[in-house]
Amino acid sequence: MGKKAIGVDVGGTGIKAAVVDTKTGELTSERLKLGTPDGGEPEDIAQVVKAIVNSLPGSKPKPIGICFPAVVQNGFTQSAANVSDRWIGLDAKTLFSEALGQEVLVMNDADAAGVAEVDFGAGRSVKGLIVMTTLGTGIGTALFYKGRLIPNAELGHIEIDGVDYETMAAYSAMEREGLSFAQWAERLQRYYSQLEKLLSPALFIVGGGISKSSDEFLPLLDLKTPIVPAQLLNAAGIIGVAAAARESV
């Protein structure tokens, strides 16, 4: 089956997929996107994933990886963000495998983005502890030590001053409250300083769509740990989950 794999990134509003060269991290097909079905029900999402995978070029079977906005343990989704609560405790691996007619890998979306950045992006030359963060509706996180993923880190939910701090520091909070970049950076400073104190990482990587504007807020942070923007942007989930599937399926 060579070095190619299919990556599928399931989100609350859209489902994206592409064929990936897992040796280079490059997309070898157009990135296709379909809307996430209203309500985010498991069977409906599985059918959209099937449709988008079947639309990709090439007839030979390839490893398929699917990343999802949930804690994923042994193929079961244990939480649900912007999709139906029926995903909680669901055997997502079996659901998608049966829909696609082959075994698939299912993993957390932040973990998948982190795999891409560590293997092909901003973290590829760093051997110590890397903390990947994605700033969006919430704060997704992924931990890597010596290049290996420590799965399902939910560090966006660290409590600061009695508050689940992703409600204060996620990009959605900036939009909701109309914060300037300088005001938002003050909250990010508290968040990243807390992670720094607890983990002493070698590198922070900042992803999410807002990372395209990283020069507006990252220079405002005062940390001992280097903090850099993600390099692979919106393709990171697809690339990372395809690479992980190539190794495990």
Q: Are strands 64-68 and 4-10 parallel, antiparallel or unpaired?
A: parallel
Fold of 4-111+235-248: Nucleotidyltransferase; domain 5 (3.30.420)
Nearest residue to 28 (alpha-carbon basis) of 65, 66, 56, 67: 56
**Paired tokens of 28:** 């070898």
What is residue 1's predicted lDDT score, i.e. its pLDDT?
A: 47
DSSP label at residue 237: H
Handedness of CA 131, 134, 135, 137 (dihedral sign): negative
What is residue 59's predicted lDDT score, i.e. its pLDDT?
A: 60
Q: Torsions phi, psi of 238, nearest 5?
A: -60, -50
**CA gap 94, 43 in Å, rounded:** 12
Q: Same topology for domains 4-111+235-248 and 125-230, yes or no?
A: yes
Pick the CATH number of 125-230 from 3.90.25.10, 3.40.1390.10, 3.40.50.2300, 3.30.420.40: 3.30.420.40
Domain boundaries, the chain: 4-111+235-248, 125-230
What does the pLDDT profile of the chain (249 residues) look like in tens digits? 469 999 999 988 889 999 999 999 999 999 999 999 999 999 999 999 999 999 998 766 799 999 998 899 999 999 887 789 999 999 999 999 999 999 999 999 999 999 999 999 999 989 899 999 999 888 999 999 999 999 989 899 999 999 999 999 999 999 999 999 999 999 999 999 999 999 999 999 999 889 999 999 999 999 999 999 999 988 999 999 999 999 886
Residues 105/74, Cβ–Cβ less than 8 Å: no
What is residue 29's predicted lDDT score, i.e. its pLDDT?
A: 95
What is residue 60's predicted lDDT score, i.e. its pLDDT?
A: 67
Handedness of CA 163, 168, 170, 176 (dihedral sign): positive
Sequence-distant (6+) residues with CB within 8 A of 113 are: 67, 132, 134, 140, 142, 207, 230, 232, 236, 237, 240
What is residue 11's predicted lDDT score, i.e. its pLDDT?
A: 85
What is residue 249's predicted lDDT score, i.e. its pLDDT?
A: 65
